Amino acid sequence: MTAPDPLTLALGMPKAELHVHIEGTLEPELAFALARRNGITLPYADEAALKAAYAFDSLQSFLDLYYACADVLRTREDFYDLMLAYLKRAAADKVIHVEVFFDPQTHTARGIPFTTVLEGLEDGLAEGLARYGISGRLILCFLRHLPEEECLATLAEVEPWLERIHGFGLDSSEKGHPPSKFVRLFARCRELGKPVVAHAGEEGPPAYITEALDLLGAQRIDHGVRAVEDEAVLARLVREGIPLTVCPLSNTRLCVFARMSEHTLPRLLAAGARVTLNSDDPAYFGGYLNDNIRAVQEAFHFDAATWYRLARNSFEASFAKATEKAGWIARLDKYFAAAGVSPGCG
Ligand SMILES: Nc1ncnc2[nH]cnc12
Ligand SMILES: [Zn+2]
């Protein structure tokens, strides 16, 4: 039997996605359908005009559009449709577990009750499990462009639903909003017994990664791609086995790197960092997880062992129970064995 090429293997391998913003999975087609259903006029004539606006030169230029489009999400059914549409795409890419970010402040600020958001997303996760066999968790992200006091008020507001929120994260505009702004907020999150993650080192400097670890107690760093700029920060990430949820298409679309060939992913891997691959905001950045894999493979020509490592990292870095992780890794090993490939690691 001839072994499949590394790209074919990577596209078909079971994997987890640990960094995807549900609001960032809103495809233009669904945005217009929800706008029609809710009697809202989007400031774009049609789907093509909206897509034409996806020319970003920075994180902020993207966030402005991302928050504007989220306005079409109004009802529990809207959040359900959004989640289910994402899970369908993820299942097609052989994703078997997802840890999904959501930004409740984007919605509660518009008068949408938190329960509408939570229940709609949970309905979608339940249906996704039934239809596609994907397990899912929700990670609530705080918007870092807002004052810490407002985020503390949001946390107090969601405490009654704590057992339905798996963890807490920090997203939105990174520059000028360092992790140190949110020390009290994340101390409270940890006090509540929840895992914490934070976007850091996307556009911001490596020092923000250090702050996220030391001041917020982040257990995973979302992006972290600028860690290579500080040897000590990178060495620490490697030594402590801190997972990085890297999103290659996001980074090129938001001009963190001018082109994929300049991405720091190979350097992070070569240093021994615990990297995972993810799609971030797939509707806006040119694709879902397997589109990221295709773009990475075109630039870097990874071997089968590297793809195995990336998939294995995605399971190991998840917040699932150890028994679940062991089951997924066994499934991954079986997949590689059935393809006649011995990845030579793990
Ligand atoms: N890439 C990103 N960085 C920070 N906040 C975000 N919110 C949605 N996508 C984001
Ligand atoms: Zn993100």
19-42 per-position pLDDT tens digit: 999 999 999 999 999 999 999 999
- Compute the distance between CA of residue 125 and CA of residue 131 in angstroms, rounded to an integer: 10
- Which of the 8 DSSP states describes residue 280? B
If 0-12 CB within 10 Å is exposed, 13-18 middle and 19+ buried, where does residue 191 land?
A: exposed
The pLDDT confidence band at residue 2, using thresholds 50, 70 and 90, is confident
Question: Comparing C-alpha atoms, which of 246, 248, 242, 256 is closest to residue 210?
Answer: 242
**Total structural domains within the chain:** 1
Question: Comparing C-alpha atoms, which of 18, 30, 24 is closest to residue 281?
Answer: 24
The pLDDT confidence band at residue 134, using thresholds 50, 70 and 90, is very high
Residue of the CA atom closest to atom 4 of ligand 1: 172
Q: Flag whether 83 is in a domain.
A: yes
Q: Flag whether 89 is in a domain.
A: yes
- Compute the distance between CA of residue 312 and CA of residue 301 in angstroms, rounded to an integer: 19
Average pLDDT, the chain: 97
Mean pLDDT of 261-279: 98
- The 10s digit of each residue's pLDDT in 215-239 is 999 999 999 999 999 999 999 999 9
Question: Comparing C-alpha atoms, which of 140, 170, 134 is closest to residue 158?
Answer: 140
Helices (H), ranges, 53-113: 59-69, 76-92, 104-108
Best residue for ligand 1 mutational test, from 23, 199, 250 (most atoms within 8 Å of Cβ): 199
Q: Flag whether 346 is in a domain.
A: no
Mean pLDDT of 81-102: 98
At residue 204, the 3 state secondary structure works out as coil
Any catalytic annotation for residue 202?
yes
Q: Flag whether 245 is in a domain.
A: yes
Best residue for ligand 1 mutational test, from 18, 19, 20, 21 (most atoms within 8 Å of Cβ): 21
Q: Flag whether 344 is in a domain.
A: no
Q: Terminal CA-to-CA distance of the chain, rounded, Å?
A: 23
Q: Flag whether 345 is in a domain.
A: no
- The 10s digit of each residue's pLDDT in 137-146 is 999 999 999 9
Instruction: Transcribe 159-197 into DSSP letters.
Output: GGGGGG--EEEEES--TT--GGGGHHHHHHHHHTT--BE
If 0-12 CB within 10 Å is exposed, 13-18 middle and 19+ buried, where does residue 232 land?
A: exposed
The pLDDT confidence band at residue 346, using thresholds 50, 70 and 90, is very low
Q: What is the CATH number of the domain that holds 163?
A: 3.20.20.140
Mean pLDDT of 175-204: 98
Whether this prediction's pTM lies above 0.95 is answered by yes
Cα separations in angstroms, 7 against 137, 301, 302, 307, 314? 28, 8, 8, 8, 17
Cβ neighbour number for residue 343 with a 10 Å cutoff: 20
Catalytic residue among 23, 27, 202, 211: 202
Tokens 């240093």, residue located: 271
Is 97 within any annotated ligand binding site?
A: no
Cα separations in angstroms, 57 against 250, 253, 307? 11, 8, 30
Mean pLDDT of 64-76: 97
Q: Residue 196 corresponds to which amino acid?
A: V
The encoded tokens of residue 238 equal 């490697």
Which residues have a beta carbon within 5 Å of ligand 2, which is an ion? Answer: 280
Is 280 within any annotated ligand binding site?
A: yes
Question: Comparing C-alpha atoms, which of 22, 344, 321, 345 is closest to residue 166?
Answer: 321
Mean pLDDT of 96-103: 98
pLDDT for the residue 112: 98
Q: Flag whether 323 is in a domain.
A: yes
- Ligand number, closest to the Cα atom of 256: 1
Q: Flag whether 303 is in a domain.
A: yes
Residue of the CA atom closest to atom 1 of ligand 1: 280
pLDDT for the residue 344: 65
Sequence-distant (≥ 6) Cβ neighbours of residue 117 within 8 angstroms: 73, 79, 102, 104, 107, 108
- Compute the distance between CA of residue 126 and CA of residue 16 in angstroms, rounded to an integer: 17
Mean pLDDT of 264-269: 98
The pLDDT confidence band at residue 3, using thresholds 50, 70 and 90, is confident
- Compute the distance between CA of residue 97 and CA of residue 166 in angstroms, rounded to an integer: 14
- Compute the distance between CA of residue 186 and CA of residue 168 in angstroms, rounded to an integer: 8
What distance lies between CA 45 and its chain's CA centroid? 30
The residue segments making up the domain with residue 112 are 6-338
